[in-house]
């Protein structure tokens, strides 16, 4: 269709042609704007909806219990919070996501071998979430752990991605810090 | 065409009803010829009146395109029925499937037909793709129809994957978790895309409604648009490719015969046989249903749906960036550009390109059959680049290096076979295609039958 129109314009240059080409461009421009708007509306419509979380559910701050009740060198599963609370041998806490960093399977803690072993592709992680065997590309994600009035709390609203384990990921109870500084 | 005047008083009741639907003063003399003409002009919009007799040979098409259409119609029919019972809510989906199977008359059968037709469609459409490739039916003027065909195959795969989640049992939940989990490795847009598809960070209620909408509205609509496009292009290309031996002249079209009944009758026979087969198969074998989905417990082993197991198997050997993104994208780009390569010989209609092509395809298949299992075994028990190269990022030690090795092996094979047999590029490209095809099939078979608990290699007995 555009071809004969062009010829027409060339045949009769002058008054009609510039207005026509301007209007044509205007229509195309408006059309593009409309398409962009529709795409915007659709993506906004499809944006993940937020769900309300009840206390103790995933997405809220979860109380894991008093510090001294959690044994050293242990892993406790919090099913509703979707995380593991790991306590290292030196008394530090880590809240590990239960999702394998490879493809998102749920990794169980195999206490006999002291490893998290993913059933999907046999990635393995140690108690700190560090990768022992691939294909997992990164250490297990963590959640922020803090201790208030001697109660361990985990903020499950925000998952923290990390490539490997670092000492600053571990949260220690006050006493230990006192011991170090004092 | 002989016609006669319509006299309303003389019509029977049924003729009167017909006359009120299709009014007009003149009617063709209704006889066998008339019906046939009516059928030819109205029903066969996508068909020429006459087709070359040689394209009717069953060993050209194996009826695969027609079978795909039959399966799609069966899927539409049973899918609509399932929609009346199924409830796409996480708490209800599994229960509604149980209700369907236990309390709805023929419920289990309808679900089985839908399940097996969907799985069968992947196989049939894939074989159709192979048939078109090996008869060289993708050369001009069929180039763009190859692209449409690939698009259709993609829609079929997406339909199967989205349908996989619907029962929301353990199998469904974890297969979809893995498949959408792969998206995380797409640079930049990946996590965003994953979030959009899942409707949140994890496979949950929103994922089910998303997949349900895509499975029951978006993809069927795409099929309805793309399928006629595909058929129309076949007609525009002058029908199917004419099968011939390498010595025969491509220009000779041979005798033409009436489409109705010659082609239609054959298609109806294939359709009825396939329908009967699916029906009997669905009576004998139930569609799988495991226990209800439990997000806290990944079954061991967790596998993707069988048609993606080949990719999952690649994930065992390559860094996800390569297994899920770079290698599949390269293969897709290669497939899309396949019809637009400048070929040295005109081979449309010749099975396996030429006599030499037949031999080299066989050699390529044998080479892949030997090399792929050896590669898998070596990677499983001997090679461990990540440990050998400590400190090197995993995307290089587990990704780039094995990828480069495989690529070098394929390039070496290409050069070797091209020189040794002095091949045209048609034959050499076919050999590489066969190499990839065989390797992919072996990866899939390994993933399905040779991977046990913890995805360790095992003997399937």
DSSP string, B307-336: GGHHHHHHHHHS-HIIIIIIHHHHHHHHHH
Q: Of B116-130, B231-245, B410-424, where does the model show the most confidence? A: B116-130
Q: Judge contact between B369 and B361, C-beta under 8 A.
A: no
Give B443 or B9, the one with higher predicted confidence.
B443
- Judging by beta carbons within 10 Å of its beta carbon (0-12, 13-18, 19+), is residue A164 exposed, middle or buried? exposed
Q: State the Cα–Cα distance between residues B270 and B67, nearest whole angstrom.
A: 7
Kindly state the helix (H) or strand (E) to which residue A110 belongs, with its residue range.
Answer: strand A109-110
* Chain B residues close to A122, C-beta within 8 Å: 454-456
The mean pLDDT of B153-178, rounded to a whole number, is: 91
Q: What whole-number percentage of chain B has pLDDT above 90?
A: 41
Interface of B with A in 281-320 (CB under 8 A): 295-302, 315-316, 319-320
Q: What whole-number percentage of chain A has pLDDT above 90?
A: 8
Q: What distance in Å separates residue B293's CA from the closest CA in chain A?
A: 13
| pLDDT higher than threshold 60 for residue A7 | no
Q: What distance in Å separates residue B198's CA from the closest CA in chain A?
A: 8
- Give A145-168 pLDDT, tens digit per residue: 888 777 888 887 777 888 777 777
Nearest to A106 among B198, B297, B319 (CB): B297
Of the pLDDT bands very low, low, confident and very high (cuts 50, 70, 90), residue A104 is confident
- Tokens 């044998």 belong to B366
| pLDDT higher than threshold 60 for residue B333 | yes
| Phi (first) and psi of residue B333, to 5 degrees | -60, -40
pLDDT at A6: 47
- Give B211-229 pLDDT, tens digit per residue: 999 999 999 999 999 999 9
pLDDT at B336: 95
pLDDT at A181: 47
* Chain A residues close to B181, C-beta within 8 Å: 102-105
Chain B interface, best mutation among A43, A135, A158, by max B CB count within 10 A: A135
Of the pLDDT bands very low, low, confident and very high (cuts 50, 70, 90), residue A1 is very low
- Judging by beta carbons within 10 Å of its beta carbon (0-12, 13-18, 19+), is residue B226 exposed, middle or buried? middle
Question: DSSP alpha helices (H): ranges in B323-400?
Answer: 327-337, 355-381, 385-388, 394
Q: What distance in Å separates residue A43's CA from the closest CA in chain B?
A: 8
| pLDDT higher than threshold 70 for residue A16 | no
Chain A interface, best mutation among B298, B299, B396, by max A CB count within 10 A: B298
Inter-chain residue contact B394 with A117, CB threshold 8 Å: no
| pLDDT higher than threshold 80 for residue A20 | yes
| Phi (first) and psi of residue A60, to 5 degrees | -115, 180
Lowest mean pLDDT segment, chosen from A19-23, A36-40, B8-12: B8-12
Give B26 or B238, the one with higher predicted confidence.
B238
Length of chain A: 182
Model pTM score: 0.85
* Chain B residues close to A98, C-beta within 8 Å: 296
Kindly state the helix (H) or strand (E) to which residue B3 belongs, with its residue range.
Answer: strand B3-5
Of the pLDDT bands very low, low, confident and very high (cuts 50, 70, 90), residue A9 is very low
Lowest mean pLDDT segment, chosen from A94-103, B2-11, B180-189: B2-11
Q: Judge contact between B147 and B252, C-beta under 8 A.
A: no
| SS3 category, A158 | strand
Give A72 or A143, the one with higher predicted confidence.
A143
| pLDDT higher than threshold 50 for residue A182 | no
Q: What distance in Å separates residue A124's CA from the closest CA in chain B?
A: 10
The mean pLDDT of B122-135, rounded to a whole number, is: 95
CA B284 to each of CA A68, A78, B108, B113, B276: distance values in angstroms, whole numbers, following the listed order = 59, 43, 11, 11, 12
Mean pLDDT computed over every residue of chain A = 76
- Give B408-433 pLDDT, tens digit per residue: 999 999 999 988 888 888 899 999 99
pLDDT at A3: 47
| SS3 category, A92 | coil
| pLDDT higher than threshold 60 for residue A142 | yes
Q: What whole-number percentage of chain B has pLDDT above 70?
A: 94
Angle, helices B425-449 vs B401-420, to 10°: value is 140
């Amino acid at each position: 269709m555009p071809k004969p129109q062009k010829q027409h314009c060339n045949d009769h240059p002058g008054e009609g042609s510039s207005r026509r080409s301007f209007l044509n461009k205007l229509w195309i421009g408006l059309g593009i704007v409309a398409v962009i708007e529709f795409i915007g509306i659709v993506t906004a419509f499809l944006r993940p909806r937020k769900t309300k979380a009840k206390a103790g559910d995933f997405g809220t701050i979860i109380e894991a219990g008093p510090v001294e009740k959690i044994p050293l060198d242990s892993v406790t599963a919090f099913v509703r919070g979707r995380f593991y609370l790991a306590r290292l041998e030196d008394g530090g806490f880590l809240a590990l996501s239960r999702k394998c960093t490879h493809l998102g399977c749920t990794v169980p803690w195999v206490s006999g071998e002291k490893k998290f072993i993913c059933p999907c592709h046999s990635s393995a992680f140690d108690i700190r979430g560090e990768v022992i065997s691939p294909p997992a590309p990164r250490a297990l994600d963590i959640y922020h752990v803090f201790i208030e009035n001697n109660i361990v709390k985990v903020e499950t609203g925000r998952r923290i991605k990390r490539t490997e384990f670092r000492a600053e990921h571990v949260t220690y109870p006050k006493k230990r810090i006192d011991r170090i500084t004092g | 065409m002989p016609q006669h005047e319509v006299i309303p008083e003389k019509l029977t009741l049924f003729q009167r009803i017909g006359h009120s639907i299709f009014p007009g003063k003149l009617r063709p003399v209704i006889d066998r010829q008339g019906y046939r003409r009516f059928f030819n002009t109205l029903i066969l919009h996508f068909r020429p009146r006459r087709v070359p007799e040689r394209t009717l040979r069953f060993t050209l098409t194996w009826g695969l395109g027609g079978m795909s259409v039959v399966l799609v119609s069966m899927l539409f029919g049973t899918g609509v029925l399932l929609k009346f019972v199924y409830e796409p809510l996480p708490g209800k989906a599994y229960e509604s499937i149980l209700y369907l199977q236990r309390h709805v008359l023929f419920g289990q059968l309808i679900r089985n037909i839908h399940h097996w037709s969907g799985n069968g469609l992947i196989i049939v459409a894939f074989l159709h793709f192979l048939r078109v490739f090996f008869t060289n039916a993708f050369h001009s003027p069929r180039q763009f129809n190859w692209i449409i065909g690939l698009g259709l195959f993609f829609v079929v795969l997406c339909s199967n994957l989205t349908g996989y989640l619907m029962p929301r049992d353990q199998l469904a939940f974890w297969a979809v978790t893995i498949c959408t989990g792969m998206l995380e490795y797409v640079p930049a847009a990946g996590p965003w895309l994953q979030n959009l598809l899942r409707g949140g960070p994890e496979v949950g209620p929103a994922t089910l409604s998303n997949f349900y909408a895509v499975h029951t509205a978006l993809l069927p609509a795409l099929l309805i648009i793309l399928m006629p496009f595909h058929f129309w292009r076949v007609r525009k290309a002058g029908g199917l490719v004419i099968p011939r031996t390498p010595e025969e002249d491509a220009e000779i079209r041979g005798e033409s015969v009436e489409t109705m009944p010659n082609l239609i009758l054959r298609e109806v026979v294939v359709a009825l046989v396939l329908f009967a087969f699916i029906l009997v198969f669905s009576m004998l074998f139930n569609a799988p249903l495991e226990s209800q989905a439990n997000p806290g417990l990944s079954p061991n082993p967790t596998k993707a749906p069988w048609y993606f197991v080949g990719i999952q198997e690649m994930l065992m050997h390559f860094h996800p960036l390569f297994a899920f993104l770079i290698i599949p994208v390269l293969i897709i780009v290669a497939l899309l550009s396949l019809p637009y390569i400048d070929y040295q010989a005109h081979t449309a209609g010749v099975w396996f390109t030429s006599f030499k092509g037949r031999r080299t395809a066989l050699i390529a298949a044998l080479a892949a059959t030997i090399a792929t299992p050896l590669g898998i075994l070596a990677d499983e028990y001997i090679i461990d680049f990540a440990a050998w190269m400590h400190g090197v990022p995993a995307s290089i030690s587990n990704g780039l290096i094995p990828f480069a090795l495989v690529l070098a092996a394929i390039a070496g094979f290409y050069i070797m076979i091209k020189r040794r047999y002095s091949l045209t590029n048609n034959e050499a490209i076919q050999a590489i295609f066969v190499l990839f095809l065989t390797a992919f099939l072996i990866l899939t078979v390994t993933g399905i039958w040779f991977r046990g608990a913890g995805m360790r290699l095992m003997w399937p007995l």
